Amino acid sequence: MKKQAKSWLEAAYDDILVMENIKSVEYLTHMVAFHSQQSIEKSFKAILEEHNERIPKTHNLILLLQKVEQYTNIEIDNSIIAQLNELYIESRYPADLGLLPEGKPSIERANKFYKYAVEIFELSAEIIK
């Protein structure tokens, strides 16, 4: 595993650790959504780094997914990717951070985002071993 790919994965794991500590706090569901997006973004960038791809300066999960698809057979839930992508792209102010168009996600939805981010992280780690 390349050093920079490992650094991206470690950063993705940091987001997972944050989510583990806040995922059951209803007041912080928007932050679980935000850290889910961040973890997936960093996991995708780890794959790109491992394969000597230029890391785009973007937070767009759909664009990053298109770039990593050639290196992986990760089963993608396009619905979750689209929701999390919209969440980050649309955030302009701290009060909006992690909010979906309809506001804060429910605990159930936040936990779904969390579980998906963990799944993407684990699959990404396996790919670049």
Q: What is the CATH number of the domain that holds 106?
A: 1.20.120.330
Structure token digits, residue 42: 């960093």
Q: What pLDDT is recorded for position 87?
A: 76
Distance CA(90)–CA(44), nearest Å, equals: 20
Q: Which domain holds residue 7?
A: 3-127
Whole-structure pTM value:
0.91
Q: What pLDDT is recorded for position 95?
A: 61
Q: What is the pLDDT of residues 16-60, one digit of tens each?
A: 999 999 999 999 999 999 999 999 999 999 999 999 999 999 999
Structure token digits, residue 10: 């470690």
Partners of residue 100 on adjacent β-strands: 103
Give the total number of structural domains in the chain. 1
